[in-house]
Amino acid sequence: MQPPAPGSEKAAVEALMAASRAFVGLAARSLADLDAEVTLPQFRALVVLATRGPQRAVDISAELQVAPSTGTRMCDRLVRKGLVRRIRSTSDRRVVRLRLTPAGRALVQDVIGRRRAELSRIVAATSAYWQPAVTEALAAFATAAGEVPGQEWWLGFTAPESSAEDEG
């Protein structure tokens, strides 16, 4: 089979497939190095909470595109690990949201920091290829995939803890 022509959509898809395998490997290594006993799907749930703030388990399930029962079990495990806590609305006691604990926030920060350092190393090793068009294309790709810009989701780490009453 002949490789796709450079500049074609097929070539772009193949390059992104290879890059996505590298990104998954990088993410897995960043987690494994911490001995936190957190799976990649659980880490994704923590990132949803870091990105979007307190959420209901059903909202996390929808974001991760898993069945609500799967999302609930995942969140239960994160609560048992002390990375997430449940908060009830004072205006409607039926509403239960999940929020990162300081330990959960620290874990996400640590993993993201490790990933950023590894990506910085890789970018430095491939600096000749990082033209503005490449960076713009990756940013557009992330936006089209529904990713929140880094500067926006990092705000979740510095925002003051709100009371359960604010969560209703």
For the entire predicted model, the pTM comes to: 0.75
Report pLDDT for 106: 94
Helix (H, G, I), strand (E, B) or coil at 1: coil
Place of tokens 């690990």: 81
Domains of the chain: 24-160 (1.10.10.10)
Residues 77/68, Cβ–Cβ less than 8 Å: no
Q: What is the spatial distance between Cα 75 and Cα 57, in angstroms, rounded to a whole number?
A: 7
Q: What is the spatial distance between Cα 141 and Cα 10, in angstroms, rounded to a whole number?
A: 15
CB neighbours (10 Å) of residue 62? 14
Report pLDDT for 152: 52
Report pLDDT for 162: 43
Q: What is the spatial distance between Cα 122 and Cα 118, in angstroms, rounded to a whole number?
A: 6
Q: What is the spatial distance between Cα 127 and Cα 129, in angstroms, rounded to a whole number?
A: 5
Question: Which of 146, 142, 133 shows the shortest CA–CA distance to 63?
Answer: 146
Paired tokens of 151: 């500067």
Report pLDDT for 103: 95
E strands, 53-162, where? 84-88, 96-100
Q: Per-residue confidence of the chain (168 residues) as pLDDT tens digits?
A: 566 666 688 888 898 899 989 988 988 888 887 767 899 899 999 999 998 899 999 999 998 999 999 999 999 999 999 999 999 888 888 889 999 999 999 999 999 999 999 999 999 999 998 888 888 888 888 888 887 665 554 444 444 344 443 444
Report pLDDT for 3: 62
E strands, the chain, where? 84-88, 96-100
Q: What is the spatial distance between Cα 60 and Cα 98, in angstroms, rounded to a whole number?
A: 9
> Which phi-psi region, left, alpha or beta, contains residue 87 (left: φ > 0; alpha: ψ -120 to 50)?
beta
Residues 43/87, Cβ–Cβ less than 8 Å: no
